[in-house]
Structure 1
């Protein structure tokens, strides 16, 4: 297997380059490769400074999801970052695309951070029921202060480069579009004394900010009282003000492991994986693309689609002709005279009465009561036809779940509306019936629809996951 981290010297600057497509995730091979390349750079007498960069469309976009739920393997990310920060030679991180989660934590462990225009940074671990566990809750407050660090870490939001520069997360924005040039330029400026490198972990502990902590705690108690990890994030950031970096890192690790043990973390990661490819029809293969589509009638969805068609190969018309491959038909729209081979896709709200099979359609696109996650139900279409339609909608930047014969979303919505005082239990009961009827390709699709479109608590992982967990736990013994 080719190495995914390389070292090469450019004049008197050593360059450590990560090449682990598609997003340079921090898997075991990358972590090990970073330490090996760092050792090469430190041992290279001709290198007076080091640059850390990444190939491809992004810097490090986070952890390797293939390692989720597996026992940690040495070297761990906290150990890698500690080694980077301890480098005896100035170490410049060059950020482009995104630097998220562990990727930003790696950058925070470097001595200087330069970003290319359009870069976004963030620590989104809270969205998976976790907290930044490789120094993010300790190094970020040393750069931006407690108040800003609390907001960024508990929201998990992505921060554009301009704001990151203002806050102090990065040191400069380089207008070049080449990470190597930006890194070499920053390293040369440091060697000439024109810029200052510094170890983030050696900066003074941030000033305590009881007011900011109290305000955030009150907000969390009002907005997300049932969530576990945001409150642990708050505790970890507060610990950054109380002692040395080493002490703060120990407390961060304790709180990180508590989050790892939380059932909420498992539920949130279940939904994370459920959202990765719900538009895929099993065994459908890769059918020919739909590029000629008629939009029949009027619907807000059509406006969304037209807003995204510009950079695609798809052409829209308002009436079908001999070249039309699919017709999207708004509710109440006049059924068009479609060519024989043309797919008929009827739009339908989730709470509509009647059976989908009574519609004159091959596929039904079910509209959610909230959010933008759509359900594409195969009524008469085969797997390849359904996949072709789902692919076209994905190309138009629509989130899609595929199902068959009847609407998962409609059934969940009807169950919830029939039991307004116990909506979640009603969805859980309905989810079992939907799975038994074989209407879903994956039971996680039921969970995703319930969470995104019907407000089922995300941290529980969805109704089907929750009800099957409860069933496997069995009755409590007195």
Structure 2
């Protein structure tokens, strides 16, 4: 297999089986596209082959395009050229959807004449979550298959649907039950039945029956756009998606609609929201990687937690319980805990490290100690007080409940850190590790809390010099940043200069407070990567995702670009 995937060709009597192979999720990278082109040409040229089946190796059908190729010159064939090759094939093609079919993968299925799916398959066009739209004909073909209203809902939400829902909508022709490996057998049997009945090629581009009734119905598109903007305000791609589906319905022919889609896709790719969301996409996938951590050390499954009750531990205890970790809550001093209570405890959560020293000799040796630090405490000093510094890890659950900051003490053992990072996934949070050392969990107890506090101080300063709270709320809401501010005038001396700032200048000043403190965190070496800070601020503390995080936002400012 090539470095960026391939397509295996297998002949089974009159059926050509084409299997995408680009682990782990079969992205449509250059090697896969080249493999498809060669396999389709081979099947087309073989007169004994009557029908073609496309499926995916492993657990995925095709999980989409390779977004690392967006905005750069990629090897031929392009995605558009590949979809054209599939659609131009004169022999019927069956998509056997064995797992996730996302984005470009679903567009491959839409180009096929027939679609069958395994029960566990999931389908969707999630491009809007990256500030994009389905740029391979998805906005034109999907409305022709399921109708414009459900197509708009699917594309504008970016959500995935089950195989059952896809069958209900008419997106797949049938579901093939059985073990996962039986899908190909069932798909080939289905293909042979199509051959036996001389089933024709069935090109979606030529079928306008599902869109004809919506022509001229402008209200349909207005309502879809309004629903979408309530879910995801300020998102540029929503307007582009609606324009594309409207073109699918109202343009004179399929090619004219494709041209609208290409134009709108280019606008999305060039829009700063796509750059911000793409930055976050990759940052979220790298923030769980801890430099220097021995990956051969296995994480321990944390199944039973002892939590010392306090306001600081309450939210984390609730998350643990929801994740089906058995939680034992204690409210008294540690010396009052019965020995039987400690049996099987593999995670201990506390805000005060000192009482833990009394339990050090009673806990199983592999127990991980999660410390939620007080203001001004350092992790190394707190870990030492537990009597088990090698098992201690600092934790901060962000106010959003969606992000977990994990601070590593100098003595923290690899498996303790691995176990907490793995626990973050079970809690349905993004776990971000801070750098080891005494400064990694100092005064503010977390990177995000420190940066958020600095941003809040800037707001308080602006209020104190006479900028109305309502105006600040409006400026911040324009980029999706919600804040709670008192409408009563803040004590301070009015500043005529501040009152003359434009809304844009006020917004810039507020956002710069985030990025200025974030740069200090980078300079102090508290984060493994600058992009980790963006993830923390966006997912933990409400910084607008459409700006990509305070450091990404700062890098897009004219001063940064000219430096």
TM-score normalised according to structure 1 size: 0.89
8 Å contact 2:421–2:431 — kept in the other structure?
A: no
Task: Pick the aligned partner of 2:517 from 408, 430, 447.
Answer: 430
The residue aligned with 1:231 is 239
Q: Does 1:401 align with 2:426?
A: no
**Mapping for residues 311-390 of structure 1, pairs under 5 Å:** 327-331=347-351, 335=356, 337-339=359-361, 345-348=369-372, 353-357=375-379, 359-360=382-383, 362-382=392-412, 384=414, 387-390=417-420
Aligned length: 469
8 Å contact 1:17–1:54 — kept in the other structure?
A: yes
Going from structure 1 to structure 2, the CA distance change for 1:124 and 1:63 (only over 3 Å counts) comes to same
User: Can you give the 5+ residue segments of structure 2 that lack an aligned partner in the other structure?
Assistant: 330-338, 387-391, 460-471, 473-506
8 Å contact 2:133–2:237 — kept in the other structure?
A: yes
- Post-superposition Cα deviations, 1:345-367, rounded to whole Å, max 9, x if no partner, equal 33438xx6333436346321101
**Mapping for residues 86-97 of structure 1, pairs under 5 Å:** 86-97=88-99
The residue aligned with 2:282 is 273
Supply the distance in 2 between the matched residues of 1:194 and 1:348 (Cα, whole angstroms). 68
- Post-superposition Cα deviations, 1:399-443, rounded to whole Å, max 9, x if no partner, equal 210003122122123223334456543322211111111100000
Supply the distance in 2 between the matched residues of 1:107 and 1:392 (Cα, whole angstroms). 34
Supply the distance in 2 between the matched residues of 1:10 and 1:77 (Cα, whole angstroms). 27
Please tell me the root mean square deviation across aligned C-alpha atoms, in Å.
Answer: 2.9
8 Å contact 1:356–1:364 — kept in the other structure?
A: no
Find the residue that maps to 2:177 and give its secondary structure: coil
Supply the distance in 1 between the matched residues of 2:150 and 2:189 (Cα, whole angstroms). 29
- Post-superposition Cα deviations, 1:274-331, rounded to whole Å, max 9, x if no partner, equal 1103122112221523437562225453454466579xxxx99887999989643144
Find the residue that maps to 1:163 and give its secondary structure: helix
Q: Does 1:52 align with 2:91?
A: no
Going from structure 1 to structure 2, the CA distance change for 1:33 and 1:320 (only over 3 Å counts) comes to farther
Deviation at 1:155, TM superposition (A): 0.8
8 Å contact 1:348–1:366 — kept in the other structure?
A: yes
Deviation at 1:116, TM superposition (A): 0.5
- Post-superposition Cα deviations, 1:441-464, rounded to whole Å, max 9, x if no partner, equal 000011001111111111111001
Which one is further off, 463-472 or 327-336?
327-336
Going from structure 1 to structure 2, the CA distance change for 1:454 and 1:194 (only over 3 Å counts) comes to farther
The residue aligned with 1:147 is 149
Going from structure 1 to structure 2, the CA distance change for 1:225 and 1:22 (only over 3 Å counts) comes to closer
Task: Pick the aligned partner of 1:254 from 263, 280, 283.
Answer: 263
Supply the distance in 1 between the matched residues of 2:528 and 2:195 (Cα, whole angstroms). 58
Going from structure 1 to structure 2, the CA distance change for 1:320 and 1:78 (only over 3 Å counts) comes to farther
8 Å contact 1:53–1:183 — kept in the other structure?
A: no
Larger-Rg structure: 2
The residue aligned with 1:296 is 306
Find the residue that maps to 1:17 and give its secondary structure: strand
TM-score normalised according to structure 2 size: 0.76
Deviation at 1:332, TM superposition (A): 6.1
8 Å contact 1:8–1:14 — kept in the other structure?
A: yes
- Post-superposition Cα deviations, 1:158-186, rounded to whole Å, max 9, x if no partner, equal 01111111112111111133231122022
Going from structure 1 to structure 2, the CA distance change for 1:429 and 1:94 (only over 3 Å counts) comes to same
The residue aligned with 1:217 is 225
The residue aligned with 1:198 is 202
Deviation at 1:217, TM superposition (A): 2.6
Which one is further off, 87-96 or 173-182?
173-182
Going from structure 1 to structure 2, the CA distance change for 1:323 and 1:287 (only over 3 Å counts) comes to farther
Deviation at 1:70, TM superposition (A): 2.5
8 Å contact 1:289–1:391 — kept in the other structure?
A: no
8 Å contact 2:305–2:345 — kept in the other structure?
A: no
